[in-house]
């Protein structure tokens, strides 16, 4: 019983001790916290002062750059030293600050300025300005020396003027003597002139004799010209015969043949021309409706039989509404049925890809025609290409201005522009 009472008495004491320990712990924690807060406030004040000083220094530096830029008047950009990484500058820049100048550009302009003054390499503005001042002093001295030399030259001039006056007097005397000599010379000239006029008379007689010889030569040339005109007349008569022969051929406006058989949906057909008409594989015809002049498609000869030929159809304008039908007319301005109607052709002008002269010659000859390299009698057709490049190479000479075109016009030859036959002589 007694022990229970003692135990009960110890409980309040233990509880009090625990509370006392907790109190002192809280008191110590509060002291430490207060001391730490005091230190933080002190550090914060120090940092604020440092930031304020840094901002003042930054503002002072910005004003310095702007004022220095106002003096230099050399706007540029400065990104830092090349050997320093951008991270070291915290990716900062001087953008937005007026008056920033590129030190390299400033140094280059100073070096250029010094070089224009003939100065050797200088270090800094002070050295450059000092060198410029020294050079100016040297120039001032040189000007002074030149002024001295000028004064000496003026003195020399005055002495020369005196001598010139004396020489003028001597010249007057010499002039009188010269006048007398001149009068004598004039008399001698008149005598020589009369002799020269006599010689001119003889030369004029020689000229008249020469004129007579020229007249005789002209008469001889006139006779030769008449002979040449007779030859030209013969050539024109020959050409007239060729033109008459050409007129007997089938005109380009008349159909060369027609479609014999054409089936809807097929890309091939048969025409009423064959070996008997001297038709060659590869010949291309325009296909037209008998009631219209519009080209409705193209037929290319693929196989030639005796009285007919097979063709492949292409470029059909309206395969549904207006397909190739039996009886449609076919045209080729460079083809006419029969051997007697084949043409002798001359290519005039400049021909470009894919119709260079060699390729075009081969295509025309495949149609049974003959292509010649020189313009002259016997040519039936002239195919006109583009204007030729002039001799200077800086422009073009019109085909119509060429001698070949004029000769063909005189001979009455048929002209066919290349653009008109381009679709019927495809390579």
- Decide if 269 contacts 313 (C-beta within 8 A): yes
φ, ψ at 224 (rounded to 5°):
-65, -40
pLDDT band at 405 (very low <50, low <70, confident <90, very high): very high
pLDDT in tens, 344-379: 899 998 988 888 889 888 888 877 788 998 988 888
Percent of the chain past pLDDT 70, that is, above it, reads 88
More confident residue, 382 or 279: 382
Give the strand pairing for 414-417 and 381-384: parallel
Give the strand pairing for 388-389 and 396-397: antiparallel
pLDDT, residue 423, reads 66
- Helical (H) or strand (E) element with 35: helix 2-72
- Decide if 334 contacts 424 (C-beta within 8 A): yes
Q: Which of 8-22, 224-238, 304-318, 322-336 has the highest mean pLDDT?
A: 304-318
Give the strand pairing for 268-271 and 284-288: unpaired
Token readout for 250 is 């089938």
Q: Is the predicted pLDDT of residue 332 greater than 50, yes or no?
A: yes
CATH classification number, 343-427, choose in 3.40.50.10190, 3.40.50.2000, 3.30.590.10, 1.10.132.20 = 3.40.50.10190
Surface-to-core class of residue 127, CB atoms within 10 Å of its CB (0-12 exposed, 13-18 middle, 19+ buried) = middle
Equal fold, 252-340 vs 343-427: no
pLDDT, residue 314, reads 93
pLDDT, residue 269, reads 95
Kindly report the number of other CB atoms within 10 A of residue 377's CB atom: 15
Q: For 345, what's the count of Cα atoms within 13 Å in the CB-facing half-sphere?
A: 27
More confident residue, 271 or 44: 271
- The topology under which CATH files domain 252-340 is Thrombin, subunit H (2.40.10)
pLDDT in tens, 166-188: 888 888 888 888 888 888 888 88
φ, ψ at 179 (rounded to 5°):
-60, -45
- Please give the full DSSP string across 181-206, using - where no structure is assigned: HHHHHHHHHHHHHHHHHHHHHHHHHH
> Which residue in the block uniquely carries the two structure tokens 């010499």?
174
The closest of 222, 297, 224, 217 to 259, measured between CA atoms, is: 297
The closest of 403, 272, 414 to 346, measured between CA atoms, is: 414
Name the residue ranges covered by the structural domains of the chain: 252-340, 343-427
The closest of 304, 323, 307 to 315, measured between CA atoms, is: 323
Beta bridge partners of 311: 269, 301
pLDDT in tens, 110-151: 778 877 877 766 667 777 778 888 878 888 888 888 888 888
Least confident of 29-38, 199-208, 298-307, 334-343: 334-343
Distance CA 302, CA 237 (A): 41
Beta bridge partners of 371: 345
pTM higher than 0.75, yes or no?
Answer: no
Distance CA 289, CA 305 (A): 25
Least confident of 5-14, 181-190, 226-235: 5-14
Distance CA 385, CA 404 (A): 13
More confident residue, 250 or 273: 273
Average pLDDT over the chain, rounded to an integer: 81
- Decide if 364 contacts 418 (C-beta within 8 A): no
Q: Is the predicted pLDDT of residue 244 greater than 70, yes or no?
A: no
Least confident of 10-19, 98-107, 202-211: 10-19
pLDDT band at 234 (very low <50, low <70, confident <90, very high): very low
Distance CA 282, CA 367 (A): 8
Q: Is the predicted pLDDT of residue 1 greater than 70, yes or no?
A: no
pLDDT in tens, 40-76: 888 888 888 887 887 787 777 778 877 877 887 778 7
pLDDT in tens, 11-42: 667 777 787 888 778 877 877 777 777 878 88
- Decide if 101 contacts 76 (C-beta within 8 A): yes
pLDDT in tens, 147-162: 888 888 888 888 888 8
pLDDT, residue 348, reads 92
Surface-to-core class of residue 287, CB atoms within 10 Å of its CB (0-12 exposed, 13-18 middle, 19+ buried) = buried
């Amino acid at each position: 019983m007694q022990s229970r009472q003692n135990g009960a008495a110890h409980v309040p004491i233990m509880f009090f001790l625990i509370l006392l320990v907790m109190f002192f712990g809280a008191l110590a924690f509060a002291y430490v916290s207060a001391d730490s807060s005091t230190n933080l406030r002190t550090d914060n004040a120090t940092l604020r002062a440092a930031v304020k000083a840094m901002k003042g220094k930054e503002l002072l530096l910005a004003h310095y750059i702007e004022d220095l830029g106002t003096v230099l008047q050399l706007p540029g950009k400065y990104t830092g030293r090349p050997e320093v990484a951008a991270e070291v500058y915290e990716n900062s820049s001087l953008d937005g600050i007026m008056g920033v100048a590129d030190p390299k550009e400033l140094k280059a302009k100073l070096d250029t300025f010094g070089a224009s003054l003939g100065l050797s390499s200088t270090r800094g503005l002070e050295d450059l300005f000092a060198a410029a001042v020294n050079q100016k002093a040297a120039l001032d001295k040189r000007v002074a020396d030149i002024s001295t030399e000028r004064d000496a030259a003026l003195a020399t001039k005055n002495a020369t003027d005196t001598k010139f006056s004396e020489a003028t007097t001597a010249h007057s005397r010499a002039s009188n003597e010269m006048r007398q000599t001149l009068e004598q010379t004039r008399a001698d000239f008149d005598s020589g002139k009369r002799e020269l006029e006599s010689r001119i008379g003889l030369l004029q007689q020689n000229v008249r004799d020469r004129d007579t010889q020229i007249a005789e030569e002209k008469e001889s040339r006139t006779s030769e010209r008449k002979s040449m005109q007779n030859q030209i007349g013969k050539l024109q008569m020959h050409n007239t015969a060729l033109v008459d022969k050409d007129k007997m051929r089938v005109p380009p406006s008349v159909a060369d043949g027609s479609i014999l058989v054409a089936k809807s949906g097929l890309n091939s057909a048969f025409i009423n021309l064959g070996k008997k008409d001297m038709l060659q594989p590869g010949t291309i015809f325009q296909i037209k409706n008998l009631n219209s002049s519009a080209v409705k498609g193209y037929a290319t000869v693929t196989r030639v039989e005796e009285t007919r030929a097979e063709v492949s159809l292409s470029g059909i304008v309206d395969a549904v509404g207006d397909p190739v039908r039996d009886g449609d007319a076919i045209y080729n301005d460079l083809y006419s049925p029969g051997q007697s109607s084949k043409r002798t052709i001359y290519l005039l002008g400049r021909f470009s890809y894919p119709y260079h002269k060699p390729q075009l010659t081969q295509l025309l000859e495949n149609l049974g025609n003959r292509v010649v390299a020189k313009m002259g009698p016997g040519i039936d057709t002239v195919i006109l290409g583009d204007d030729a490049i002039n001799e200077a190479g800086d422009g073009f000479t019109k085909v119509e201005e060429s001698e070949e075109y004029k000769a063909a016009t005189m001979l009455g030859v048929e002209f066919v522009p290349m653009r008109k036959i381009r679709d019927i002589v495809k390579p």
